[in-house]
């Protein structure tokens, strides 16, 4: 059984990761445009979003008591 | 099994299952997480403005490797990891070669990270006495003492070592995240990143060199497989911890490299040795700083840098120390597994009756690590040897010598693991796989419905290209790596001849019985039932005269 503080932290950090990833990806595309080199920061941003999504999913599962 | 055999098996001490899910993650993290502390500066020095591309390429290959290890470690949770998978999928001789290459990596791991650990400590500003460790002889002696201490810790027992890893891994995840958080929030500029990538794009040779060094930053997933035999409910735990680890490490590697190329520093960067202004990536990749690049980067992060300058050298040193510890753990476990499979002499499977740890293997491979330390340190200890190294190896220093061999061993063993995964998919479709690599092509092979793993082929091509890059760009890796393999094969043939075992063929083994024992011992009873049901169903489907599954 996870503590409520742990569950909340999963949700907060997950949301922060999604925001950070989206910001990095969007800003990189905005600055670098169609340059192929933009793929690296965009992939990095996408990974942030993916990691955040996993944490938010974990948070929702823990909150509903499935895990 | 006869009563006598059962009694004997009961008497023989085995590895105890004391590694928890967090412990399993920590074993992997402590090994892979430390790699960026060594790899960042080396890759920036080689691949310059394309360092993030080098990390991305190596990272994509690493994801394929990680997925392969996750599938195999969950299906076959035994000590030995990659070596065991190759042995089971491709037979004895290839199993030996893969294990021997991984052993090279683990023993290098012990020395390389103990070495870098002392380098990081020597950068600590608040304890100037530690800077004395920069003296070659003091450095050599301190690294040797660290290796001996880790050997003792591992002989004492895995529970104690796991607790040590778990604590430090937790601290490091928090600290690395904090550095990245402040760096991206206050100093990252995509326009600067675009400018650096365009202005400092490397030559193809340097990019290849950078990619081959970048793979160093991802070596260590082996540790999770190594710990599989000591992990509770491995088939359930291993996929979860592996996927978390893959994602965490990939994010850290890409984030650190992008930050290094696109960050406005908090303090002005000093000019280079010739008085020319230099950018952050150049400063981090210089000979002066490439051994402690993460510490220098962290100290240049706005606000957090003031604190980071004080604790990152310590943090780096601790993480590198536990990575070195993972090398001790991994090498002893792989030797244990190889010995049980009669690929190495039986002395390596002796488990201490009181501590239940493979004490002989630990001591033996820490001794090998000490020999490697001597080879790496000799150029700095003796001017005569330095001249010989300069003549033969373009003056590569000790740390590069270790890095070359590390990249070679990893690429060689991972290549074989991908082939073994494909072979096991075809030959052993009965074993339940709680996790499977994505993108599979189903077809019928020898009357069985199997799935061909497309990602394994992509991963194989990726790791083979990195092996080729390593051979093209590294003088020492090109000579010493293959020499290690050849010497090992000669020793293997001599051992098998003495024992009257087949030298180039595999011994007949009852894999069905072995798989049942593995799953039973792992406590995965549901999977064992599933396995038995699969075997029974395939027997019923098989036409008369078809080979037994």
Contacts of residue A39 in chain B, CB cutoff 8 Å?
Answer: 56
pLDDT of residue B543: 55
Q: Which residues contact B66 (CB under 8 A, 6 or more apart)?
A: B221, B242, B243, B245, B246
H helix or E strand, kind and range, residue B452: strand B448-453
Determine which of B254, B261, B281 to mutate to test the interface with A (most A C-beta atoms within 10 Å): B254
**Percentage of chain B exceeding pLDDT 70:** 90
**Euclidean distance between CA atoms B373 and B402, whole angstroms:** 9
pLDDT of residue B5: 43
B462 neighbors B60 (Cβ within 8 angstroms)? yes
Q: pLDDT of A14-53, one tens digit each?
A: 898 899 899 988 988 888 887 888 888 899 999 999 989 9
| Direct distance between the N- and C-terminal alpha carbons of chain A, in angstroms, rounded to an integer | 8
**Euclidean distance between CA atoms B226 and A39, whole angstroms:** 35
pLDDT of residue B448: 83
pLDDT of residue B7: 44
Query: Residues B439-460: what's their mean pLDDT?
Result: 91
Of the candidate ranges B50-54, B437-441, B460-464, B476-480, the one whose mean pLDDT is the lowest? B476-480
- B333-356 burial, b for 16+ CB within 10 Å, e for fewer? bbbbbbbbbbbbeeebbebeeebb
Within chain A, strands assigned E span: none
Q: Which residues contact B536 (CB under 8 A, 6 or more apart)?
A: none
Query: How far apart, in Å, are the Cα atoms of B506 and each of B95, B334, B499?
Result: 10, 19, 14
Of the candidate ranges B67-81, B133-147, B230-244, B503-517, the one whose mean pLDDT is the lowest? B230-244
**Percentage of chain B exceeding pLDDT 90:** 28
pLDDT of residue B121: 84
Q: Which residues pair with B449 in a beta bridge?
A: B444
pLDDT of residue B394: 63
B455 neighbors B438 (Cβ within 8 angstroms)? yes
Query: Residues B70-76: what's their mean pLDDT?
Result: 89
Angle made by CA atoms B526, B532, B537, in degrees to the nearest 5: 125
In this model, does residue B437 exceed pLDDT 70? yes
At A65, is the pLDDT very low, low, confident or very high (cuts 50, 70, 90)? confident
Q: Which of residues 7-66 of A touch B (CB under 8 A)?
A: 20, 24, 27-28, 30-32, 35, 37-41, 43-44, 47-48, 50-51, 54
Query: Residues B77-83: what's their mean pLDDT?
Result: 78
A-B C-beta contacts closer than 8 Å: 48
In this model, does residue B85 exceed pLDDT 50? yes
**Euclidean distance between CA atoms A15 and A55, whole angstroms:** 8
Average pLDDT, chain B: 84
CA nearest B349: which of B58, B32, B13, B3? B13
**A51·B251 Cβ contact <8 A:** yes
Of the candidate ranges B144-158, B441-455, B504-518, B534-548, the one whose mean pLDDT is the lowest? B534-548
Query: How far apart, in Å, are the Cα atoms of B301 and each of B172, B257, B277?
Result: 17, 14, 19
**B190·A40 Cβ contact <8 A:** no
DSSP labels, B490-530: HHHHHHHHHTT--SSSPPP--HHHHHHHHHHHHT-HHHHHH
Contacts of residue A54 in chain B, CB cutoff 8 Å?
Answer: 247
Q: pLDDT of B367-413, one tens digit each?
A: 999 998 988 888 878 878 777 777 766 656 667 777 778 888 888 99
Q: Which residues pair with B475 in a beta bridge?
A: none
In this model, does residue B9 exceed pLDDT 50? no
pLDDT of residue B4: 44
In this model, does residue B463 exceed pLDDT 90? yes
In this model, does residue A2 exceed pLDDT 80? no
pLDDT of residue B228: 67
Query: How far apart, in Å, are the Cα atoms of B215 and each of B58, B97, B229, B286?
Result: 5, 20, 26, 20
Q: How far out from the chain centre does Cα B37 lie?
A: 14
Contacts of residue A27 in chain B, CB cutoff 8 Å?
Answer: 190
B369 vs B158: which has the higher pLDDT: B369
pLDDT of residue B442: 92
**B194·A35 Cβ contact <8 A:** yes
**A37·B190 Cβ contact <8 A:** no
**A41·B255 Cβ contact <8 A:** no
Contacts of residue B182 in chain A, CB cutoff 8 Å?
Answer: none
Of the candidate ranges B236-240, B422-426, B542-546, the one whose mean pLDDT is the lowest? B542-546
Side-chain-side CA neighbours of residue B510 (13 Å): 5
H helix or E strand, kind and range, residue B534: helix B525-541
In this model, does residue B457 exceed pLDDT 90? yes
Q: pLDDT of B248-275, one tens digit each?
A: 889 999 999 999 999 999 888 988 888 8
pLDDT of residue B541: 66
| Direct distance between the N- and C-terminal alpha carbons of chain B, in angstroms, rounded to an integer | 21
Q: pLDDT of B485-520, one tens digit each?
A: 999 999 999 999 998 988 888 888 888 898 898 888
**B258·A40 Cβ contact <8 A:** yes
Contacts of residue B188 in chain A, CB cutoff 8 Å?
Answer: 24
Of B52, B188, B250, the CB nearest to A47: B250
Q: pLDDT of B282-314, one tens digit each?
A: 999 887 777 788 988 998 999 888 888 888 888
**Euclidean distance between CA atoms B448 and B535, whole angstroms:** 11
């Amino acid at each position: 059984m996870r503590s409520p503080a742990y569950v909340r932290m999963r949700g907060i950090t997950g949301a922060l990761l999604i925001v950070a990833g989206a910001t990095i990806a969007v800003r990189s595309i905005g600055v670098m445009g169609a340059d192929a080199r933009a793929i690296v920061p965009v992939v990095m941003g996408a990974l942030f979003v993916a990691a955040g999504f996993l944490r938010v999913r974990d948070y929702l599962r823990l909150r509903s008591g499935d895990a | 099994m006869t009563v006598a055999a059962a009694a004997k098996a009961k008497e023989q001490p085995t590895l105890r299952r004391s590694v928890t899910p967090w412990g399993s993650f920590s074993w992997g993290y402590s090994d892979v997480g430390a790699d960026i502390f060594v790899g960042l500066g080396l890759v920036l020095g080689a691949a310059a403005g394309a360092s993030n591309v080098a990390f991305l390429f190596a990272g994509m290959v690493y994801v394929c490797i990680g997925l392969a290890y996750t599938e195999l470690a969950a299906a076959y949770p035994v000590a030995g990891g990659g070596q065991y998978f190759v042995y089971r999928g491709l037979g004895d001789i290839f199993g030996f070669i893969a294990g021997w290459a991984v052993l090279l990596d683990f023993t290098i791991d012990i020395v390389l990270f103990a070495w870098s650990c002392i380098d990081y400590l020597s950068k600590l500003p608040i304890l100037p006495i530690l800077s004395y460790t920069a003296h070659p002889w003091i450095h050599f002696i301190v690294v040797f003492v660290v290796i001996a201490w880790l050997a003792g810790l591992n002989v004492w027992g895995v529970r104690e070592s796991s607790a040590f890893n778990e604590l430090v891994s937790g601290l490091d995840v928090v600290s690395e995240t904090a550095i990245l958080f402040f760096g991206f929030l206050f100093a990252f500029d995509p326009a600067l990143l675009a400018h650096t990538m365009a202005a400092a794009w490397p030559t193809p040779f340097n990019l290849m060199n950078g990619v081959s060094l970048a793979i160093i930053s991802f070596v260590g997933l082996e540790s999770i497989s190594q710990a599989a035999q000591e992990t509770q409910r491995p088939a359930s735990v291993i996929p979860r911890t592996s996927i978390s680890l893959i994602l965490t490490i990939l994010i850290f590697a890409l984030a650190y490299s992008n930050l290094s190329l696109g960050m406005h520093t908090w303090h002005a960067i000093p000019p280079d040795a010739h008085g020319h202004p230099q950018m952050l990536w150049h400063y981090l990749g210089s000979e002066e700083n490439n051994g402690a690049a993460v510490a220098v980067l962290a100290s240049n992060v706005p606000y957090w840098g003031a604190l980071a300058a004080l604790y990152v050298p310590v943090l780096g040193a601790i993480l590198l120390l536990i990575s070195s510890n993972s090398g001790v753990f991994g090498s002893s476990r792989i030797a244990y597994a190889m010995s049980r499979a009669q690929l190495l002499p039986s002395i390596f499977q002796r488990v201490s009756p009181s501590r239940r740890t493979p004490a002989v293997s630990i001591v033996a491979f820490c001794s090998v690590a000490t020999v490697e330390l001597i080879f790496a340190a000799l150029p700095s200890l003796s001017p005569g040897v330095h001249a010989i190294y300069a003549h033969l190896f373009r003056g590569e220093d000790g740390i590069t010598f270790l890095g070359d061999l590390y990249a070679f061993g990893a690429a060689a063993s991972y290549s074989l693991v991908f082939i073994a995964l494909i072979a096991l998919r075809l030959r052993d479709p009965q074993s339940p796989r709680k996790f499977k690599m994505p993108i599979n092509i189903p077809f019928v092979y020898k009357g069985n419905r199997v799935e061909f793993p497309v990602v394994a082929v992509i991963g194989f091509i990726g790791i083979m290209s990195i092996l080729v890059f390593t051979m093209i760009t590294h003088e020492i890796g090109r000579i010493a790596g293959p020499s290690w393999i050849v010497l090992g094969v000669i020793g293997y043939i001599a051992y098998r001849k003495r024992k009257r075992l087949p030298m180039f063929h595999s011994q007949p083994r009852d894999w069905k019985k072995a798989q049942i024992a593995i799953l039973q011992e792992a406590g995965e009873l549901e999977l064992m039932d599933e396995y038995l049901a699969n075997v029974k169903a395939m027997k019923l489907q098989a036409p008369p005269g078809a080979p037994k599954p």
